[in-house]
Amino acid sequence: MPESAFHIEPNPTASCRVIISGGGTGGHIFPAVAIANELQRRRPDADILFVGANGRMEMTRVPEAGYRIVGLNISGLQRRLTPENLLFPLKVFQSVRKAGKLVESFRPDAVVGVGGYASAPVLLAATSRAVPALIQEQNSYAGLVNKLLARRVDKICVAYEGMEQFFPADRLVLTGNPVRSEIAGGDRAEALKFFGLDPNKPVLLVIGGSLGARTLNQATAAALPRLQQAGVQLLWQTGKLYFPTAEQQAADYQGANLHALEFIKRMDLAYAAADVVISRAGALSVSELCLTAKPCVLVPSPNVAEDHQTKNARALSTRNAALLVTDAEAADKLYDVALDLLSDPTRQAELRRNIQPLARPAATITIVDELEALIDRQRAKQAR
């Protein structure tokens, strides 16, 4: 991207200017968009700029949500020695320099970091120029970027209690995770029509995260004959890499309403249609399941820092608010558990009752309250 792309002229009549940085997965992107939407609802003339990582999904998802985005050439460290790791320090240096150009030209009143590769350079550039900054940490185990930058920022909005082990206690605000406001508002009749489903048959929703999940995809592919035999309808979000294979596998069951979908944009309708959900236990997925009060089977990913998805899942399963199947057990056990749950309305109702109180529907509002306080403080300082 040319250097000129990092010189962004702000709207001189905007009531405020905010940069939101981060991404990589839907678990970072959708909370970021929820924050932007709430800020723009309150301040329609707010000037909001996103900063992401080139080649990552935010570079398409954010424009689809109606916001402009600038991409940095930044990526994470690999777990093994690779040429990319040798280039990592250079990429960080270049990204911080380019983020500095953005901050100096756009002159934000505040910066928000939601985690992901692009978050660190922007937060470093902003805080070194005395721009107020807020971090939103989605998980029960804090990400490396957020831990490293915690003492540089003004506020840290978290979704779980006990985060003092990672962050300065005086900067913490327990908010929950921002969830798209429309996620719990889907109408079941509209949803069934939208996906072409039979209202007289149960619906299973499988979501492995925005990038897909190999374990869930393999287990679901193996279970397709059982689903057809049981008369269960399927909405199966596969992710981009697995979709061509899954599409072919589901095509063998035409007429059974077993739908493989690369990505589900209308998640409000997917949740509304579903009787039971199989899901990874990422922070955003857990927050959405609590808000929609869906009976669910959680399969935590083992490929995350400090196994935080298992911690997320146990926060529900120990309250009898979700069922837990480990990744290692999924091939043999997952669809036994899911089909048993689909055939047990009493158990579904029990899980719904127990998961609903764990929702934090005001999370986005509380986070934007904190953001507006930083904006107003910065504007007042600039007016002196």
- Is residue 200 annotated as involved in ligand binding? no
Establish whether 158 is an annotated binding residue.
Answer: no
To the question of whether residue 27 is assigned a binding role by annotation, the answer is: yes
Residue pair 319/384 in contact by the 8 Å Cβ criterion:
no
Q: Within a 10 A sphere around the Cβ of 110, how many other Cβ atoms?
A: 27
Annotated ligand binding at 231? The verdict is no
- Backbone angles phi and psi of 156, in degrees to 5: -130, 110
Structure tokens at 50: 């996103």
Is 309 annotated to bind ligand? Answer: yes
Residue 43 annotated as lining a ligand binding site: no
Q: Is 113 flagged in the annotation as binding?
A: no
Is 264 annotated among the ligand-binding residues? yes
347 marked ligand binding residue = no
Tell whether 284 is in a known binding site.
yes
288 is known to lie in a ligand binding site: yes
* 116 in a labelled binding site: no
Task: Please state the residue numbers annotated as binding site for UDP-N-acetyl-alpha-D-glucosamine.
Answer: 25-27, 139, 180, 210, 264, 283-288, 309
Annotated binding site: 25-27, 139, 180, 210, 264, 283-288, 309
